[in-house]
Chain A
Amino acid sequence: MKIQHLSFIFSLLFWQVSQAEITKTISPETQLIEWKFIEHNFELKLIQRLPDQTRSFFEARGFPKNITNDIANSCVFQTISRNNSKDKSQSIQVSLKNWKIKTDQKTQPIKLKEDWQKQWTNSNLKPAAKLAFRWATFPTEQSFEPSGDYNWGMISFGPKPGSTFDLYIEWKNNDQRNRAWIKNISCPKS
């Protein structure tokens, strides 16, 4: 009987660390959708941002209208990433360079902050605006230690408002590479 109890408890533990969990919730206040993904202690939240929200955020920080429109119409999500591990040695590494989106037409990389910055090389964008963009967007590469490390930032996935896509994500638990798909993510409409 004791062995049965132990196996139950160990199977419960195993289930806790090995099962991917994806939930989708709608905010009752804003009607915006949030996707939450958890696997191998990597927690990822993707929260829709209305194009108007993104537009006003960047306009308030000195961006001209043409650029704020470009960003706002690129399916921007507020993204929160966290290391939930209780094991002190379990670092998590994320590189957005490996993430991809799949739409009806094609599979493509996501638009990184470096891609945007390159696009503005010859523009007269104010330094304060560039600075706000750099720190308000999600880092392209980052490590999260198991001491409660987490980060917030915007990611522009690329498709037009109202589009739907599947997101391919990759992360590492120490040197162990993990991957997953989050299906049917929808960009909010204008």
Chain B
Amino acid sequence: MQQYKFTIFCLSLLILFSNTLNAEQLITPLKNKPLAPNLQLPDMDGKTHKLSDYKGQAVIINFWATWCPPCREELPSMNRAWAKIKSQGIAMIAVNVGEDEDTIFTFTGDYPIDFTILLDQSGEEISRWPIKGLPTTFVIDPQGRIVYRAIGGREWDSEELLNLVRALK
């Protein structure tokens, strides 16, 4: 009986340990916190947005395309996250890479996006950011520095993840 208790104890420790580690697997903190490039792009209505317009706020900025499967997978969770944070002084921006308004408009019929979408049709803006693949998401602090990066999709409406962003305010 004691043997079983000991085995169960050891296995419980292992499970607890692995869960603790999983909780930390969210987004990557950037040690040097580089200044974010001052992005300047039009939205779907042609109005220009600058990243500097959001100074003083934490900003989640996601680079994506409609043809990118993990982008399509994570966007619903970003939209749910937006519903939670929009009244909390946090901004969320989706920068579409290389596509036109019509393509994005059709896409948002199936995948509603209620936060700001900016268009980088020429791909000039994305080339100024440290990005190798889509989707890539950055979290910018109120001082305009990149503090977190996520390569590939995440569940952005997770409270644990959003609390990291809320803590920047």
Residues on A lying within 8 angstroms of B by beta carbon are: 1-2, 5-6, 9, 13, 57, 61, 82, 86-88, 127-128, 131-132, 134-136, 138-139, 141-142, 144-153
| Residues B150 and A147 in contact, CB atoms below 8 Å apart | yes
CB < 8 Å: which of B11, B22, B98 contacts A86?
A: B22
| Residues A148 and B133 in contact, CB atoms below 8 Å apart | no
Nearest A residue (CB) for B123: A131
Is the C-beta of B162 less than 8 angstroms from some C-beta in chain A?
no
Interface centre among B11, B25, B134 (most CB of A within 10 A): B25
Nearest A residue (CB) for B20: A86
Report Cα–Cα, A6/B11, bound state, in Å: 10
What class of interface size applies to chain B in its complex with A?
Answer: 20 to 34
Nearest B residue (CB) for A140: B132
Mask, B77-109, CB within 8 Å of A = 1, is: 000000000000000000001100000000000
Residues on A with C-beta less than 8 A from B68 are 135-136, 152
Contacts A86-B21, A153-B133 given; indicate if A9 touches B151 (C-beta within 8 A). Answer: no
| Residues A128 and B98 in contact, CB atoms below 8 Å apart | yes
Nearest B residue (CB) for A132: B98
Can you list 22 A-B contacts (CB < 8 A)? A5-B10, A13-B14, A86-B18, A86-B22, A88-B24, A128-B98, A131-B98, A132-B65, A132-B67, A135-B134, A141-B132, A145-B28, A145-B151, A147-B26, A147-B27, A147-B150, A148-B26, A148-B27, A148-B152, A148-B154, A150-B151, A151-B151
